[in-house]
Amino acid sequence: MSTIAVLGVGPGLGMSVAQRFAKEGYAVGLVSRSAERHPGYLAALEASGVRTVAVAADLREPGAIARALDEITAALGPVDVVYHGPGAHDLRAPTVDILETSPADIRRATAEIVEPAAELAALVLPAMGSRGHGSLVYVSGLSALVPMPFLGPYAPASGALRAYARTLAAAVASDGLVVGSLVVGGLIERGDIHQMLTGPGSPAPYATLDPDELADAVWRLASGLEDEIVFDVLTPER
């Protein structure tokens, strides 16, 4: 049985990815910062006979990614697919315009977003290479492609993550490995930010995306059918 590690699981895209791969017969390892919602996630997957485990870990902390992957491997076996989808920048949090962004701001944002991605690649790609197969899918924001000055340091950091994913893809293609890039521009339904910004029965203040459609895109990327997929409901005129 193949195994996927879903890093950054939440009620929106993360769980949709878990359920999409579960339908294909994958065992599922879930990782999120808090264990509070893990029982519900596990029950939803186990109800359909899926082997699963959940690990609480803040992926930004040193050693957390390695520990989470070790726990998943111990419970479910070698990891064949890794989905790296840490939480998006909170749209309600205070932001600094790019003109007010300092070099230190950019260093902090890059460390938060890109360094865990690089740590993950160093941990999983050698083992995947030795087995001759494996997939790694990174998620970045639309500011990786479209100028969004209001995101301040998170815009260049997102661009760096996308560039890193695309460069990795070129580097490992000859080894039979897959590194996919999913670029998301829009509010993901059922996700935490979506729930914060919408009340019962009230319309979302932003254009929204269906997490199940995004999860299908993750499946295509992990299968090597496409190398990058962009969802953009924020700038449809582009």
Degrees, nearest 5: CA angle 175-31-23 = 70
pLDDT, tens digit, 9 for 90 and up, residues 108-142: 999 999 999 999 999 999 999 999 999 999 999 99
CATH number of the 3-232 domain: 3.40.50.720
pLDDT, tens digit, 9 for 90 and up, residues 58-78: 988 889 999 999 999 999 999
Residue with tokens 């790296």: 84
Question: Rounded to an integer, what distance in angstroms lies between the CA atom of residue 11 and that of residue 196?
Answer: 13
Rounded to the nearest integer, the mean pLDDT of the chain is: 89
pLDDT, tens digit, 9 for 90 and up, residues 67-106: 999 999 999 999 999 999 976 544 445 578 999 999 999 9
Secondary element (H or E) of residue 140: strand 135-141
For residue 91, the model assigns a pLDDT of: 47
Number of Cα atoms under 13 Å in the Cβ half of residue 35: 6
Range in 28-32, 43-47, 79-83, 199-203 with the lowest mean pLDDT: 199-203
Question: Rounded to an integer, what distance in angstroms lies between the CA atom of residue 40 and that of residue 109?
Answer: 31
Q: Report percent pLDDT > 90 for the chain.
A: 72
pTM score, whole prediction? 0.90
Q: Taking residues 188-209, report their average pLDDT.
A: 62
For residue 90, the model assigns a pLDDT of: 47
For residue 223, the model assigns a pLDDT of: 97
Question: Rounded to an integer, what distance in angstroms lies between the CA atom of residue 44 and that of residue 50?
Answer: 9
Question: Rounded to an integer, what distance in angstroms lies between the CA atom of residue 121 and that of residue 8?
Answer: 16
